[in-house]
Chains A and B, each alone.
Chain A
Amino acid sequence: MGTLREVACGDTAKVMGISARGSMRKRIMDMGITKGCTVTVRRIAPLGDPMEVTVRGYELSLRKSEAESIEVE
């Protein structure tokens, strides 16, 4: 268990929950990151942030702080 932030580049993880609240939470879920879906970390930008992930067949870029609120295993 851990957060999406800790997932290494190239690895895949399964989402267990989202600890963010309010509009950030809604935004994350609206974009397809929901409990049970798989997320693959494609790349991490210069300076470490943001990170690009593949979810439900398309690419999405997320801040590391947003990734921190996504629990995965």
Chain B
Amino acid sequence: MIRAALAGNPNCGKTTLFNKLTGSSQRVGNWPGVTIDRKEGRIKGADAILVDLPGIYSLSPYSPEEIVSRDFLLDESPDVIVNIVDATNMERNLYLTSQILDVGIPTVVALNMMDAVRKDGGEIDTVKLSSALGCRVVGMSALKGEGIEELIAAITEAAASGKVPEPLRLSEAAEASASRISEVLRGKVPDGQIRWYSVKALERDPLALERTGDLEGEILHIVEEMEREMDDDSDSVVASDRYSAVSRAAASSTGKRGASKGRTTSDRIDRIVTDRWLGLPIFAGVMFLVYYISISTIGSWGTDWMNDVFFGEWIIPGMRAWLEGASVDPVLTAFIVDGLIAGFGAVIGFLPQMLVLFVLLVILEDCGYMARIAFVMDRVFRRFGLSGKSFIPVLIGTGCGVPGIMASRTIESERDRRITAMTTTFIPCSAKLPVIALIAGALFGGSALVALASYLVGIAAILMSGIILKKWKSLAGAPSEFIMELPAYHMPGAVTVFRSTLEKTWAFVRKAGTFILLACGLVWFLSTFSWNMVLVEDVNTSMLADMGRALSWMFVPLGWGGDWQFTVGTLTGLLAKENVVGTFGVLFGFSEVSEAGEEIWTMVAAMLTPIAGFSFLLFNLLCAPCFAAIGAMRRELGTWKATGAAVLYQCGLAYAVSLIVFQIGSLAIYGTFGVWTAVSLAVAALLVYLVVSNDPFRMSARRSGEVAC
């Protein structure tokens, strides 16, 4: 059984290749000590297991991904390394290759994206590249499925022959010094890895030097000599040499250079979109337009039709008539029509808006614009102590918080990672959109500004939390480095857009048919019966009303505690945020639409002032996320205790924000002033203090013994 390792840069098609090679046989496990997934699978049609190493730019010892990969290659000695190289970006990719060739394990280079090279009119001679690198090179396209068989054959061949590739030669001076170090190390490290350790020691790699033990002094002596001779730091010399070597190799094998027409159009677009002054307003404008189209115009026509016609005229009266006509028990009928269908229908009613929204968002993501956002937001985030890398989980969180929280794993700084995991859910996810649409529709005339405001509040909450939480722990390091690639823009493919949109829409419908349906059934039941299981006439005497009232007093200062239904809605939101809408559908009579086709949500409008509604919305957007997201937080943060603290923080912040918005808002609009207005001002002052003060948690008294880093 051959053991193979798949290594390569991030974003070079590694995952696609891994999937093509292993198909459905892959299993996901864990690398010990780090929260990075370890994927393994059997290579199709070969007696081999492939381990997917994390995407890395180099085998230096600084990030968990690099360390995990290094350790695997050196300690677990796979039989062959499959190094995937992006042909459209050869030099940078081959830099990693030069390091892999030093490890002393048979290597095969999978030169991916050859289809893109051909399309640009370029040519690469894999045979010439092969001889320049000293190992087999297989041209292929993982996306198109070309060259896969050839690759698998090359892998088995390399493993069988056991032929160790010739390492790439550095400059004369570096090679000479490396040889001297090799002499010193002979016998101290495994023979096959002498080259690796020699060159790494030359680069002053801390992990490599550690393994040399008492020989370190002698080795550093050699390094210093070379540094004097070259008048440059050794790591810089070696890096330059590596790039020179791979540059030569790439040049010798590249025929016609592609025109890369795609680049210049991208540039022209980027010139405007990431412009110093226009970038952020453009972003705000684009997002506003997206929500305007989906929630306020096209989408809302669809939703109105769904609510008024599809459910209001067809399904609901139809089902009711059918069931009554068949003499089905009226209680059961009510359960089905006023409970299940009402709740499900209320959520599905938003499907048209969600659909349009999904299409627009998928297009934005697929054409590459979303990547620019991280670039643009980095500066904003840095000002608040977070790096742009923390923004990517937030971006993902606009779809669903679960993968957003999981994406925080790519952040190196442990503290930043935890803070990001805790604050990602402040940004409205797709499940919260129906709630936004409902409030916007019922109380604000369907204005898209409600959606925009929700996002701005979310981002503000994330930034503010970043500032405050950073003062809680004692580490004061600089924000993580932010070096990232920007892929070229490209026209979103119709097939991709269609498929992605369909996936998202189907996920929405499925969630409605499961989480919402069940929750609404329960809500109906609890709101129709009193504690002694008697049918009630007035819903205010039901079990649910009692349960709601037990807690709703807490929300009176927020403006929506007067009626228990809103509290119940918020609670059901813990299962799935859309439940807020579903619950309202049941409790506010979605199934009793008048023939005149009035707004479904007039009851909501009657019970809440716009400012109270907005306060309710903000609370639901910021408070604890759904159970699935809480579960994801638990996986990232590690303990229930930490998760509990995070949820408590979220609810606390939600309460504070809603309180301030409602009280100050009411003061501004209606001139009401009461005890709670004063309290909200105090809370606002507290928040400002936490943000502005250098040490609000009085941590320095506790840390007198520590040395600042």
- A contact set with B: CB distance below 8 Å: 17-18, 22-32, 34-37, 42-50, 52, 56-63, 66
Contact = CB atoms under 8 A, between A and B. Distances in A.
Contact of B62 (A27, A47, A60): A27
A35 B230 CA distance: 12
B92 interface: yes
Contacts of B277: 46
Majority SS at the chain A contact face: mixed
A25 B388 CA distance: 19
Contact of A63 (B63, B280, B376, B482): B482
A34 B236 contact: yes
Those 3 A-B pairs whose CB atoms lie nearest each other, nearest first = A46-B279, A30-B58, A23-B62
A56 B376 contact: no
Contact of A57 (B91, B240, B382, B481): B91
A34 B276 contact: no
B239 interface: yes
Contacts of B270: 42-43, 52
Contacts of B274: 43, 45-46, 52
A63 B481 contact: yes
Contacts, number: 115
B388 A50 contact: yes
Interface string B354-386: 000000000000000000000110111010000
B275 interface: yes
Nearest to B487: A59
Contacts of A58: 89, 92, 485
A32 B483 contact: no
Nearest to B412: A23
Contact of B379 (A18, A25, A48, A59): A48
B486 interface: yes
Contacts of B240: 34-37
B278 interface: yes
Contact of A44 (B95, B236, B276): B276
A17 B236 contact: yes
Interface in B269-296: 270-271, 274-280
B62 A46 contact: no
29 contacts: A22-B62, A23-B63, A23-B481, A24-B481, A27-B57, A27-B481, A27-B483, A29-B236, A29-B239, A30-B57, A31-B57, A34-B236, A34-B240, A43-B275, A45-B274, A46-B274, A46-B279, A52-B274, A56-B92, A56-B247, A57-B89, A59-B486, A61-B375, A61-B483, A61-B484, A61-B486, A62-B483, A63-B382, A66-B483
Nearest to B89: A58
Contacts of B276: 44-48
Contacts of A32: 91-92, 95, 243
Contacts of A24: 481
Interface centre among B239, B275, B279, B378 (most CB of A within 10 A): B239
B414 interface: no
A70 to B, nearest CB: 11
Given A43-B274, A63-B482, A49 B239 contact: no
Given A24-B481, A32-B243, A49 B382 contact: yes
A28 B95 CA distance: 13
Contacts of B484: 60-61
B115 interface: no
B60 interface: yes
B235 A29 contact: yes
Contact of A35 (B232, B247, B388): B232
A45 B379 contact: yes
A73 B270 CA distance: 26
A60 B236 CA distance: 19
A37 B232 CA distance: 15
A26 B375 contact: no
A58 B266 CA distance: 13
B379 A31 contact: no
Contacts of A26: 58, 60, 62, 235
Contact of A60 (B232, B280, B380, B483): B483
A56 B482 contact: no
Given A30-B57, A45-B276, A50-B388, 17 more contacts: A17-B232, A22-B62, A26-B235, A27-B483, A29-B239, A31-B57, A31-B92, A44-B276, A45-B279, A45-B379, A46-B376, A50-B378, A57-B89, A58-B92, A59-B486, A61-B486, A66-B481
Nearest to A18: B236
B267 interface: yes
A23 to B, nearest CB: 4
A45 B486 contact: no
Nearest to B239: A29
Contact of A30 (B95, B232, B247, B378): B95
Contact of A45 (B58, B62, B243, B376): B376
A14 to B, nearest CB: 12
B417 to A, nearest CB: 16
A51 to B, nearest CB: 10
A56 B243 contact: yes
A50 B92 contact: no
Nearest to A42: B267
Contacts of A43: 270-271, 274-275
Interface string B232-273: 100110011001000100000000000000000001001100
A47 B275 CA distance: 9
B287 to A, nearest CB: 15
Contacts of A25: 235
A48 B277 CA distance: 9
Interface string B548-570: 00000000000000000000000
A34 B271 contact: no
Contacts of B481: 23-24, 27, 63, 66
Interface string B56-94: 011010110000000000000000000000000111100
A38 to B, nearest CB: 12
Contacts of A44: 276
Interface string B478-493: 0001111110000000
A52 B388 CA distance: 14
A21 to B, nearest CB: 10
Interface in B435-494: 481-486
A63 B380 CA distance: 12
Interface centre among A17, A24, A34 (most CB of B within 10 A): A34
Given A17-B236, A25-B235, A29-B236, A50 B482 contact: yes
